[in-house]
Structure 1
Amino acid sequence: MDRLTEMEAFANVVDQGGFTDAAKKMGISKSAVSKHVSNLEARLGARLLNRTTRRVSPTEIGLAYYDRARRVLNDAGEADALVTAMQSAPSGLLRISVATDFGVMHLSPVLGEFLSEFPDITINMVLNNRYVELISEGFDMALRIGELEDSSLRARKLTETEKRLVASPGYLQKYGRPQRIDDLNEHKLLHYANQSSSAVWKLTAPSGEKRQVRTTGWLTVNDGQSLLNAAISGLGIAYLPSYIYHKAMAEGLVEDAMPSLPVETQGIYAVYPPGRFTQPKVRAFIDFLAQTFADKGPKDW
């Protein structure tokens, strides 16, 4: 006899308060329900139900067994639902949070390909440079760059980016190339500002020493492309990720202002809320991004 069926019959008798209603719920005969429960009691060697002509109620042992049995049955139901959901076609609204620069330069150009492949998904992409709370703010997932702050979220690494100090050849010819971190105090520094960062650069010296440099200067802006444009124009030195400066450096518009510094490598992650299983629409998009960015970064953007 199927142990799970016996357990289900017993739980339904307790839930419905009798064999007749339990049989109706399960779609089987009353005698079949009674047989399942009798077999369960015989296998366990314990009486689980008090039976009278008027009512059926669980014994003390039966009530304790019911609590565990109901958990098992609920888990089994969730397992069945999980398989059904994971095999269903991805669909519905997918709400994404992503940093403005990365979203504009590298995510929005590939969305058309994804939506062509999954026409039942619609995307709401929110571009901002602040840390969003996924669950409370209603996001299905986010793309985050650098160290992950919230360890409770599930994450998948998509690729990497590098950060370098960059400046135009004209600026370096006019003001000289900084040789030491302390030399940056004599230069015009272009600061990338957002709500989660202060006006400092955190750099690593060739010796491995961690240093901080205050970046108050000519320009503070919360847009990486604008900061790159300022560096190209010769306004100063900017500290930017390779997914922003890669093309300008390849074209010779900017160059590494301090090649002696160790290059900082940052991961780019898809993060999403924890749960028993990943929604098909989220899983499909993350798989798409992993494939799209498989040959990108940290240098090749």
Structure 2
Amino acid sequence: MDRLTEMEAFATVVDQGGFTDAAKKMGISKSAVSKHVSSLEARLGARLLNRTTRRVSPTEIGLAYYDRARRVLNDAGEADALVTSMQSAPSGLLRISVATDFGVNHLSPVLGDFLSEFSDITVNMVLNNRYVELISEGFDMAIRIGELEDSTLRARKLTETSRRMVAAPGYFEQYGRPEKIDDLNEHKLLHYSNQANSAVWKLTAPSGEKRQVRTAGWLTVNDGQSLLNAAISGLGIAYLPSFLYADALEKGLVEEAIPDLPVETQGIYAVYPPGRFTQPKVRAFIDFLVNSFAEKGPDVW
């Protein structure tokens, strides 16, 4: 007889507390269930069930076997579900969390192409600048930039962004250009307020030494695009990712503050809850983003 069927019959008898209910659960006859369990006991050379006229209960050996058998059956069920899931067409509501700056500038423009390709998927994209708890807040995935704090999530790298200090040419004409990290103490720095430790710029000196600069300055904003606009207006120096400043830098609206410093880079990731397999809608969107950003970053945006 099939070993997995024998296991299933035995485990179902334990779960249901008897052969009659187990037969109903499995959709086979009571005699067939009994035959499967007897065959399993004969093969193992051990009695797994105590049978009386009133009840059926596992023996000590049967209980130990049940724990392992149930795990095997659960794994087999998940394997079947995996195959079914991977073959099914992506569909359903896809709820995404993404930082406002990246979402507005780079995710929104490609959503139309994604929805055209996957017409059975609907998207709810939530733009915010806070760390969301994916599972408890009901998100299927998030786009995160920089070091990943939650190691329990699964992640796939989409691309990279560099970070530079930039300001308008007019600002440098008025206040001078800093030549080294220590000179930043004499400048007007623009502060991004909505990240942990965002009041500190982590920079690398030409020597490779890691430095930290406190950025309390003229202006504090919780939005990167607003900081870029302030820098373009000549209000001070902003430390921004390339996906925000690249176009302004190319047009000459901003210039790099200290070009000799090593360029810092950060990964941009799609993160999603852990599990044995990925939902088709999530997998489809991540594959789409990997393709969309294949030629982006760290400085090309």
Tell me how far apart the structure 1 counterparts of residues 17 and 180 of structure 2 sit (CA, whole Å): 81
Runs of 5+ unmatched residues, structure 1:
none
Is contact 1:98-1:144 (8 Å) kept? yes
User: Match for residue 150 of structure 1?
Assistant: 150
- Cα offsets for 1:4-41 (capped at 9, x unmatched): 11111222333344434433433334443333222211
Partner residue in 2 for 1:203: 203
Q: Deviations over 1:141-167 (max 9, x none)?
A: 111111111111111110000001112
Alpha-carbon spacing, 1:5–1:173, altered in 2? closer, same or farther (3 Å): same
Does the aligned pair in 1 maintain the 2:191–2:198 contact within 8 Å? Answer: no
Q: 1:180 to 1:6 in 2, by over 3 A?
A: same
Shift of 1:212: 1.8
Question: CA distance change for structure 1 residues 15 and 218 in 2, over 3 Å: closer, same or farther?
Answer: closer
Query: CA 1:46–1:233 in 2, change beyond 3 Å: closer, same or farther?
Result: same
Q: Does 1:252 align with 2:248?
A: no
State the Cα distance separating 1:195 from its structure 2 match. Answer: 4.7
Scaled by the length of structure 2, what TM-score is found?
0.93
1:161 is the counterpart of 2:181: no
**AA of the residue aligned to 1:179:** E
C-alpha distance in 2, partners of 1:55/1:221?
70
Q: CA deviation at 1:48?
A: 1.9
Aligned to 1:103, the other structure's residue is in SS state helix
**Once superposed, what is the RMSD of the aligned Cα atoms?**
1.8
Contact kept in structure 1, 2:152 and 2:274, CA below 8 Å: yes
Distance 1:48 1:179, change over 3 A: same
Find the counterpart in structure 1 of residue 213 from structure 2. 213
Q: Report the TM-score when normalising by structure 1.
A: 0.93
Matches within 5 A, 1:122-137: 122-137=122-137
Gaps of 5+ in 2: none
* Aligned equivalents of 2:278, 2:190: Cα separation in 1: 41
**Counterpart-to-counterpart distance in 2, 1:282 and 1:191:** 34
CA contact (8 A) 1:163 1:265 kept: yes
Distance in 2 separating the partners of 1:51 and 1:188? 83
Matched position secondary structure for 1:155? strand
The percent identity for this pair of structures is: 87
AA at the equivalent of 2:264: E
Residues 63 and 217 of structure 1, relative CA distance in 2, 3 Å threshold: closer
Inter-partner Cα distance in structure 1 for 2:26 and 2:114: 43
Q: Which amino acid aligns with 1:135?
A: I
Tell me the equivalent position of 2:117: 117
SS of residue paired to 1:270: strand
- Residue 272 of structure 1: aligned partner: 272
Q: Is 2:17 the partner of 1:35?
A: no
Partner amino acid, structure 1, of 2:260: S
The secondary structure found in structure 2 opposite 1:202 is strand
- Paired with 1:186 and 1:63, the residues of 2 have a C-alpha distance of 74
CA distance in 2, matches of 1:132, 1:123: 17
Q: Distance in 2 between matches of 1:131 and 1:19?
A: 51
CA 195–243 in structure 1, closer or farther in 2 if over 3 Å, else same: closer
Q: Tell me if 1:180 matches 2:180.
A: yes
Q: Distance in 1 between matches of 2:204 and 2:238?
A: 16
1:52 CA displacement = 4.4
The answer (yes or no) to whether the contact 1:163–1:264 under 8 Å persists in 2 is yes
Map Cα deviations across residues 73-98 of structure 1 (whole Å, 9 max, x no partner). 22212221222222222222211111
Question: In the superposition, relative to structure 1, how do residues 208 and 42 fare at CA in structure 2: closer, same or farther (>3 Å)?
Answer: same
Whether contact under 8 Å (2:230, 2:236) holds in the other structure is yes
- Superposition deviation, residue 140 in structure 1: 1.4
Q: Which moved more, 1:270-279 or 1:100-109?
A: 270-279
User: Number of matched residues?
Assistant: 301
Counterpart in 1 of 2:105? 105
- For the residues of structure 2 that align with 1:138 and 1:16, how far apart are their CA atoms? 34
Contact map agreement 1:167 1:232 (CA 8 A) in 2: yes
Q: Distance in 1 between matches of 2:31 and 2:137?
A: 52
Contact kept? 2:192, 2:198, Cα under 8 Å: no
CA distance in 1, matches of 2:269, 2:82: 25
